[in-house]
Every structure is written in structure tokens, then in C-alpha cells.
Amino acid sequence: MPGRALCLVPILWTALLGIWEAAALTALQVQKVTETENGDFVLGFRFSVDHSIQVTHLGKFDADGDGQLPNASRVALWRESNRSLIVETTIPAGNEAALEAGFFYVPIAPQRLEPGSYVIGVQTFAGGESFGSNTELAVARGLDSLQSRHKVSTLFRIPNLRRTNIRALVGANFKFTNLI
């Protein structure tokens, strides 16, 4: 009977890897917000991955927690090395987007990200939805080298001004799965 047990090991291992691959993860989870602001910005963060992931949703922070967005906002993902746009979508005004753990999310066509560095950014407006300007965050395992980014602008462009503290700003987020 020992041979039968050994035959099950590859099956169990494959099943566990499949579960790991299929489990949807959220890049950031907000633990605590001590300050919020609003203004004409594109803000987000730079991150690195050391294995392939597939991004399935882009999101925007509901800083005031009311479940409503006063303005539609663009959110996008760029490759950092050449600043090329990978995907862009709009989070609709109101409460049409799915609200999960303090972020409004919209699904996107799945985007495979290979190992490397990327930037996510979301558009904010003066008088619109606030963003977290001093936050405590939990970061999903597998994401590394997080760095807050912002750009003061009414134009939607990659946020390229660096912040030394990821706690400084939170507005954009994404959901992903790990690929093997």
C-alpha cells in the first residue's frame, strides 16, 4: 500500500497549487486611515512582482466610507520601465461599482504581469472623493518594493513623483491571482 500513498502526492500537490493560483488576492488592505484629503491628483503606487500574476480588477478607495463616488474616476496600470499603459478603465460615479473592503472595483479583461515593476494610478478631483493621506496598509504576499506615487494634475498620466512612505497616500488598488 505504500505505493498508493506516493501516487496521491502529485495529485494533492497539483490540487494545492491550483488553489493557490485561483485564489483572488487584493494588493492592499487598509488597516487604519488617520487623515484624508482631496484635490486634483493622479495617485497610486509602484510595485514589483517576482512571479507572474494576473490582474482581474482595478479599484478606487472609498475614503469617506459612504459607498458613493461623487465623480467617475479613471484608474490605470502602467509598466514602469517604459511608462507604457497596460490597461485603463473607469470607476463609475454613484454606487454601481462593487464595494469590497473599502474599495470600489470594476472587472477588467485579465492582464498577465510578468516579473518586473509596475505603477497603478487613480484620478482624484478637488471637491470629489477623498483619498487616504496617512494610512496603515497590509500588502499582499508576492508584491514588493511598494512606493507611493502622485502627480498634481487634472490630466490623467502615470503618477511619477515618488513618496518615501507608502503610508503617505492610498487611492488605487487592484485584485489579482498568482500564476504558476
Instruction: Encode pLDDT of 108-129 as tens digits.
Output: 999 999 999 999 999 988 888 7
The residues pairing with 55 across neighbouring beta strands, listed in sequence order, are: 111, 176
Q: Identify the structural domains of the chain with CATH numbers, from first to last.
A: 25-178 (2.60.120.820)
Q: Which amino acid is at 112?
A: R
Average pLDDT of the chain is 82
Do 37 and 133 meet the contact criterion of CB atoms below 8 Å apart?
yes
Task: For the beta carbon of residue 16, count every other beta carbon within 10 angstroms.
Answer: 10
Closest residue by Cα to residue 92 from 103, 109, 106: 106
Do 43 and 150 meet the contact criterion of CB atoms below 8 Å apart?
yes
Do 32 and 136 meet the contact criterion of CB atoms below 8 Å apart?
yes
* pLDDT band, residue 6 (cuts 50/70/90): very low
pLDDT tens digits for range 24-63: 899 988 877 777 778 888 988 899 999 999 999 999 988 8
pTM of the model: 0.82
Grid cell at residue 40: 486634483
Question: Which residue's entry shows cell 473599502?
Answer: 102
* pLDDT band, residue 72 (cuts 50/70/90): very high
- Identify the residue with better confidence: 135 or 117: 117
